[in-house]
Every structure is written in C-alpha cells, then in structure tokens.
Amino acid sequence: MKTDKREKTDLSEIAPPRRGRKTREITIAGIPISPGVAIGSLFDTSEEPTVAPRRAIDAAQVEAEKARLAAAVSASRKQVSKLKARLSVLPEEAQEELEPLLDAYVMMLGESRLLRGARRRMAEELLSAETAVGDEAEAIAAAILAAKDDDKAGLKRRAGEVREIARRLTRNLTATPFRSLKNVPQGAILIAEELTPADAALLDPTRIAGVATEEGGADGHTAIMLRALGIPSVLGATGLTEAARRGDEAVLDGAAGTIVLRPGAVALQAGRASLAAYAKEKTRLAKLRRLPSVTVDAEEVELQANLEIPAELPLIAQAGAQGIGLLRTEFLFMNREDLPDEDAQFEAYSQIVGPMAGDVVTIRVLDWGGEKDIEALAEGIVPYHSGPNPALGLRGIRMLLKRPELLEAQFAAILRVAVLGPVRILLPMVTVPAEVAQAREIFERVVRRLRRRGVALPEKLPPLGAMIETPGAALAADAIALEADFFAIGTNDLAMYTLAVDRAETEVAHLYDPLHPAVLRLVQFATEAALRLRMPVSVCGEMAGNPRLVPLLLGLGIRTLSMNASAIPRVKQVVRTLKIDDCARFARRVMEQGDPRRIQELVMEFTDGAPHP
C-alpha cells in the first residue's frame, strides 16, 4: 500500500491538481463503446495543439508552398507505412480493422480530391499549404455530412477520415509532434480529449486496462478499433479531462458508459462486483458462440451479420455469425473520383468471401441515389438526380438499370468471386417484377461473356434476390417471387416508406415505429409470399437485431435474421429459449391488433415472461 501511495504522490507532482479541484467521488457518463470493467489509476495523455493560423501568400510563394505540401505528404506516407508495419503485433481482429483504414489513408495521400483541391486553393486563392489543406478538408467533410443518407454513422466515418489525413498533414507542415503513448503504466486507465484510430493502433491491450475520452462516438473508426482490441472503453465523456487528475483511482464500465473518478468504498465494491460479473458473462457468451442457434423444439434459426465496411469483418467472426446476410457495397464507391472497375471490385469482395470460409455472403449491388455523396457522381459519370425528394427518385435498381454497365461490372466481379465461396446477389429498391427480370437478363448476359473469356465460374451460379423495402414491393411480393430466387426484407426503409417518416427528421422521428400494424402486415405478406414458393426469406433491418422482436418474427415464419454483429449473441440467447408454436400463437395475437401501443405492450409482456438461460 505504501508503494501505491508513493506512486500517486510522484504522479501528482508530474501533473499537479488545479486549484479548487475537488477530490470527492464523481461519476461521468459517456457513450458505451467496448464492454468490460476496468479498475485502475488514471493516466492522461495530451497532444500538443497544432498552431496553424490562416495565412495568405504571394503568387511568388505558390511553388514553395506546393513543395512544402509535397514534403508533408511524403512524411505522412512514411508514418502510415510505419503504422502498417505495426499491424503484425496487434490482435488479428485489430489488424483486420486497421488495414483497410490505413489503405484509405494511403489513397488520400495520393492523387486524391483533397490534395488536388489544396493545390488549387494555393494557386487560385493564394493560401498557405496548411490553410489550403484545412479549407479543402472541411469543404469535403461538409459535403459528405450534408448528404441525405440514412447511414449517418457512415457519413461521419468518411468525413472523419478526410479530417484525420488533413490533421496529419498539418502537423507535419507545422512540425508539431504527435501523441506519444510509450510511458503509459501497466494497468492504467488512459484518458484524453480525443484518440484517433492511429492512436488506438499504438495501444497495448495487455498493458492498458481501459480508455475514456471526451470526444468520439460509437460508430467511428476509433470505437471499432477499441472494440477489436477488447479494451473496455467509454467515449464522449464530457467534462472528463477537467474533472480527472493523473494518478486518481477510477472505475470504468464500458457497457454502462460510465467512469467513476476517485470512487468511495461503495463504488469501488460495486466496480469489483461488476468486474467479476462481466468476466462470468464473457465466459458464458463465449460458450454460447459455439452452441447452435436452435429453438427449444429444435427449429434452426440462421443468424447472419450485416457488413457496412470490411473493417467490421473481425466483429462478425467474434460474434459467431452464420454468414453475411447483407454486404453493402457502397464503401467501394466512397472517397474516390472514379468508379471501381471489375478487377477492383473482385479484389475487394475476395477479401471478404475468402475469410468467411464457406459461409454464405449476400452482396447487395450498389444502392445509390441523388441523396448520396460521390465525387464521380458530381463529375457526371453516374446520372445525378438530386431532386426535391431523392428517396423517391432514381436510386437502387432504378439507377443501375438506367446505366447497365455499372451493374454489369458488379455482376462480373461477384460471379468471379463466387468460386471462392457461396455468394448471393441482392437487388435494392425493387418495386415491380420487371426490374428483377431486367436485372436477370443483364446477369445472364454477363455470365455468357465471362464464359467466352474462359473465366472460372462456380458450377451453381449465385442466386438473384430482391430486397423488399417499399410497400409496393411487399404488396407485389407474390409476383416478384416468381422472378426472384430469395427475399431480404429491409424493415428500416419499409417502415420509413410505409409511415412516410424520415427517422433523421427531429419533428417526425417519434412517428417511426416498426411495430405499426401496417408495417407488420407488409412483413407478413412478403414472408408468406416467399414461403408459399418455398423460397428463402430473411429480415435484415434493425428489427432482426432486437431480441424482444425475435419471437414475433419467428412466429411470422422468418427463419433467417441478419443484424449488426454485436447483436448476435443476445439474439441467439433468446432463440434458444423459444418454442415455435408459442411464437406462432403470439404472432397471431399481435396481428389481430390495430393499436401500435397495444402491440408494444404484448411484445414486452411476452419477452418479460419468457424463460432465460
């Protein structure tokens, strides 16, 4: 104990407390990022702020400023290369998370929109290199964030990538040193205003007990990295660095999203109990991962994962998913000035299908419309239709059929990768059977062309499915089922289009309700249309990952659910407590209701009364 006190005294001398700072217990709430409990001393790590005031230049200085920028780009590329070299010492999950991100950084340090724009600003607006880089990065980030896209988390990630490269360039331009994490003590809880993904890559999970920051969110690359490293973490803890003091003891709960500074005896005891409970829960869920996803009466329920970006692949492996039920391919088209060709797409899909080791991968072809941000679109390579309401415009399969060469390149890449493992092809925004029929004609044309080229194709070609995400598609499901090989019901968009509610609009967000009787009847109609033809049907919206809604979906006849990887263990836990007959009776009772509030009550009553493993 004396040693601990002496260590605290030393640390306090290094970073003495500010005047008037209280030493009483304080609990700060943030965003839960990576589950787990950490008890240890705080170690604050700050990064020297970059001083880069706006600066104009003379025309005679333009070439010199361009040379400075080129030197900063060269230094940044070397730094990213060193980070890539460090990948081998990180856990496999963290390696697979960080590598695609570093590849994106390398691309942005090439002939990217960011650097072209910065050089243009230097020449035309007579700005210094750091000012031009900052202005161009913010312009790109603002354009990305302004896009009308349901995937707000993805937009923030892309904007963050641009800003991070600009930050790195600016620090190199101003010779400002980067954060050092070499001296973090064993078992410490690391606190900071903000951590970048590159910072997270330098963390040693065997030394650091936990991480807490003032800035950051649940969907950013830093959050994904921390989850991959398995470090209990809380981000977005406002007021943390002001209230904390290096050497203070703290209790961090990554699942609750809290950090208790200078805990008293009661809080410390509760923290230790939580630590023991988490260890027990982790062991139990690890065992659950190896158990089959079957109901009590031996009905198999297939639990698959949705994949937004390849960086999430390690999380899918950890969750024990039975394949990928929805691979969104938009990531291939982001942050680039041209369109990925067949070979580039094949390479990207290979890095996903190969590691899935025989589990099916459902690849949704490009779902793009006027509301999404893509530089190639602005250049006129892709038809651009912003319109007053892009959600009702030229998007999804509509756009692909208007520009079939886009669909042909994607079909060709998917067909080639199908020799590496089972894949399925999903068509977005289908509303009429003719759209599936036209897509199939293009698909068969691509097959014939590849065979003439002597390209190896699987003996059984990938099935072609339709995404049911509009009322029109659900109500025409009987006819669409005659053209498609499988259905994937996207309940997020289905609820939005059915209720005429944009969840991102504050004024009407409260009206968004996937348990609205109209939404449930459309899900039921589409499911029954598929089941009558013995055609596979799945749900891949947020409903699939909600453990409370699993009994209802099973009762409606759904046997395949695709969700965020993190939701799979909890959903499996519920599946293993259910009986299909009970679910069917419950679903019939729900479908008799006309009041969403009553449906919500029934769902709560059923799940609260269900047995727990």
Residue 540 known to be catalytic: yes
| Contact call for residues 430 and 389 (beta carbons, < 8 A) | no
Residue 583 known to be catalytic: no
* Rama region for 176: left / alpha / beta (φ>0; ψ in -120 to 50; rest): beta
Q: How buried is 346 (Cβ within 10 angstroms: 0-12 exposed, 13-18 middle, 19+ buried)?
A: buried
Q: Which of 550, 570, 548 is nearest to 560 (CA)?
A: 550
Number of alpha carbons in the 13 Å side-chain half-sphere of residue 49: 4
Q: How far is CA 590 from the centre of its chain?
A: 32
Q: Which of 31, 374, 444, 84 is nearest to 226 (CA)?
A: 31
Here the tokens at position 425 are 């092809």
Q: How buried is 422 (Cβ within 10 angstroms: 0-12 exposed, 13-18 middle, 19+ buried)?
A: middle
DSSP state of 483: T
Check 510, 540, 583, 612 and give the catalytic one.
Answer: 540
Helix (H, G, I), strand (E, B) or coil at 115: helix
Here the tokens at position 154 are 């993805």
Report how far residue 211's alpha carbon sits from residue 192's, in angstroms, rounded to the nearest whole number: 8
Check 221, 385, 510, 516 and give the catalytic one.
Answer: 221
Report how far residue 17's alpha carbon sits from residue 36's, in angstroms, rounded to the nearest whole number: 29
* Rama region for 239: left / alpha / beta (φ>0; ψ in -120 to 50; rest): left
Here the tokens at position 388 are 């007053």
DSSP H helical segments within 355-488, as ranges?
A: 375-378, 397-402, 404-417, 433-452, 471-475, 477-481
Count CB-CB contacts under 10 A for residue 117: 17
* Rama region for 147: left / alpha / beta (φ>0; ψ in -120 to 50; rest): beta
Q: How far is CA 461 from the centre of its chain?
A: 29
> What residues act catalytically?
221, 540
